[in-house]
Amino acid sequence: MGETEVPSMPSMTRWRRVYYLIPVVALVIPFFANEYLLWVVNAILVYTLVTVGFNLIIGNLGQLAFVSTAFFGIGSYTTAILMVYFGIPYVLAILASAVVGGIAGFLTSVTALRGIRLYYLAIITLAFGELMRWVYLHGDKVTDGSDGLLLPAASFFWIPLDSEAPKFYVFLLLTVIVVKATSNLMRSKIGRAIVAIRENESATASLGIHTARYIVLAFVWSGSVVGIAGAMFAVLTERVLPEAFGLTQVIIHFGMVLVGGTGSIVGSVLGAIALTALPEYFRQFPGMDELFFGVVIVLILLFLPKGLVSLLHRISPVFQERYYRD
């Protein structure tokens, strides 16, 4: 009476198989979707990585650092500049965006290491994002200012990315690899240390854990993940524009984290799906789309304060990440 039912091992295994089969099943999407729907799905994959990277800082590390837009823009412009001016292949541009995003993450982590927290950290990181947007806008000789950078034809190894279908397969591959790597990171002792810092940084340090090292690592990983998303976004839109990385993007990213579920990778995926697909659906209600969208978000946050991922937790514990705090 009152005890939580623990599913049997075969039951857990069945759910886990279903969980890992999702990307495999997704392979057939291009056979049933038109170019527009594929574009939306590709955007979902891009924002999945943005939300996974941002959630690592906001949800897992517990730092109110709105750094995602800065990392996103840095990743996009790194890819665009390398491809436009140096003719670098897209594959190498993705790796470069991950590295440059990681460097940006390292530099941003300095603010957290200096003891700046909560609203002060939020303001500083928001200012950093706006500073980068100013650079994109006024660095005309490199970024082409408000006109943005038009990307040349891209290819992933021998695969030309000349339509949404090949982009989908490349984006799906990148998303699966990065999400799995982040999941493995969070299930390791590194992930446990990151969550411990969120719960009580002083107590974590008293146990002999080098908290500064893990804070830096979390920011670097987040910067790399969102940087890769930026590289994907550049090819998705085919033109990188400064206005794509303003305060509106911060609100969207933060909304995805909250709606999906803070501190949850599965929640990050759900949040990206919800807040990318819903605006496209509500476009059919001109003048009312923003109202409907806002109402849906408010209802989700009111009735599911732990996000959409809490619905999956009720179905099976297999969706409950071990580092996730109830």
What is the Cα–Cα distance from 182 to 191, expressed in whole angstroms?
9
Torsion angle of alpha carbons 222, 224, 230, 235, nearest 10°?
A: -150
What is the Cα–Cα distance from 199 to 264, expressed in whole angstroms?
15
Count the Cβ atoms, other than its own, within 10 Å of residue 218: 29
Tell me the two tokens of residue 90. 């897209």
Per-residue pLDDT of the chain (326 residues; tens, 9 = 90+): 444 444 554 545 555 666 678 888 899 999 999 999 999 999 999 999 999 999 999 999 999 999 999 999 999 999 999 999 999 999 999 999 999 999 999 999 988 777 777 788 899 999 999 999 999 999 989 999 999 999 999 999 999 999 999 999 999 999 999 999 999 999 999 999 999 999 998 999 999 999 999 999 999 999 999 999 999 999 999 999 999 999 989 999 999 999 999 999 999 999 999 999 998 888 888 877 778 888 888 998 899 999 999 998 887 666 677 654 44
User: Domain residues of the chain, as ranges?
Assistant: 32-245
Q: Is the separation of the CB atoms in 65 and 58 below 8 Å?
A: yes
- Using DSSP's 3-state secondary structure scheme, residue 239 falls into strand
pLDDT at 257: 96
pTM above 0.85, yes or no: yes
What is the Cα–Cα distance from 311 to 326, expressed in whole angstroms?
13
CA distances to 128, 158, 247 from 241, rounded to whole Å, are 17, 27, 14
Write out pLDDT tens, residues 75-100: 999 999 999 999 999 999 999 999 99
